[in-house]
Chains A and B, each alone.
Chain A
């Protein structure tokens, strides 16, 4: 009687094969999903490292304009004045300083 019940619950050779196949597919799917997630994370990480402004690609530079830029933009103090021929005796004399 017990052998009959066991025989009723035990899968046949064809049924066992389908379960094994389903487990194999599930394992394969898990591996594929894991690999895909790892790949997507890796690509996103490398992309962020290469392009996102929050990630330094080189040694950090000071937050200031380069000296050459400042030099080009800053107005030189060397600007000429205006002179003309004298019209009366000078009250003051320029001399060597």
Chain B
């Protein structure tokens, strides 16, 4: 049995196998140090606080923001890096572990400002006050980078977002399992990262069309298999926000997706069903 290492980083549990845990921890520490919204000296915090219209950002920051903007283009704007203010308005303004049980009512809706961000090389242009949040891609990018350093057959998982360097069996929400032969697996949903503000439940999946947490989603959790953890994570968030259209949208991209409905029913899209062909679930 291969040793499995566990530690905490980026607000979640990191699990890895067939790799150097110190090196993997250093990868996550580097990404968290640049992109945390809650560290006062992170580059993201400094960028969001800067009154300048144009900023010279680090190579890592530019790379992640470019990928985030491309993810926004790929998803029709559903995975959007300009929703930091909307997250804060919904009450997610401190580390998740410190969010109180209930709090003041949420602030006004803050819709997408995607069209106001420009990145030319390492020069970022955006209006002061626009709060970036790159969490939609940063954790999965860190997972993919950490997985590059693993031995064959290894895997690394951050809060359930996983990249594998060979076949690995992974448990799924609701008790099922699947073998990840190649690429990554990610799950998005509203089961764990939610809180209350003004007596109403809030969560971290902001709908850029409304500038508020997605209301009354048909799904509790969406799991997607992608060529990388990044692809899986972006597709999981987008298909969650697409509601009933999520399974068909994933099929259009040839991506396997597994949707857990609010009542516990499991819906598989065509690509997932083709690869795994389980019994007792509908497509």
A residues at B contact (CB < 8 Å): 71, 74, 76-97
Q: How far is the CA of A42 from the CA of B203 in the complex (A)?
A: 71
Q: How far is the CA of A84 from the CA of B177 in the complex (A)?
A: 10
B residues at A contact (CB < 8 Å): 2, 4, 12, 15, 17, 67, 70-71, 73-75, 139, 155, 157-162, 167-173, 177-193, 221, 223, 225-228, 230-235, 253-256, 271-272, 275-278
Q: How far is the CA of A96 from the CA of B223 in the complex (A)?
A: 8
Count: A-B pairs, CB below 8 Å: 150
A16 CB to closest chain B CB (Å) equals 80
Chain A residues with Cβ below 8 Å from B180 are: 81-83
- CB contact under 8 A between A96 and B231, given known A81-B184, A86-B169: no
Contact of A96 among B169, B179, B187, B228 (CB under 8 A): B187
The residue in chain A whose Cβ has the minimal distance to the Cβ of B156 is A92
Q: How far is the CA of A74 from the CA of B227 in the complex (A)?
A: 16
Contact between chains at A96 and B17 (CB < 8 Å): no
Contact between chains at A95 and B193 (CB < 8 Å): no
Chain A residues with Cβ below 8 Å from B177 are: 86, 89-90
Chain B residues with Cβ below 8 Å from A78 are: 74-75, 226, 231, 234-235, 253, 255
Q: How far is the CA of A93 from the CA of B170 in the complex (A)?
A: 5
Chain A residues with Cβ below 8 Å from B167 are: 84
Not counting A84-B167, A85-B178, A92-B171, a sample of 16 additional A-B residue pairs whose C-beta atoms are within 8 angstroms of each other reads: A78-B74, A79-B254, A80-B225, A80-B227, A80-B231, A81-B180, A87-B179, A90-B169, A90-B171, A91-B2, A92-B162, A94-B162, A94-B170, A94-B223, A96-B193, A97-B186
Contact between chains at A94 and B275 (CB < 8 Å): no
Contact of A79 among B67, B255, B272 (CB under 8 A): B255
The residue in chain A whose Cβ has the minimal distance to the Cβ of B194 is A96
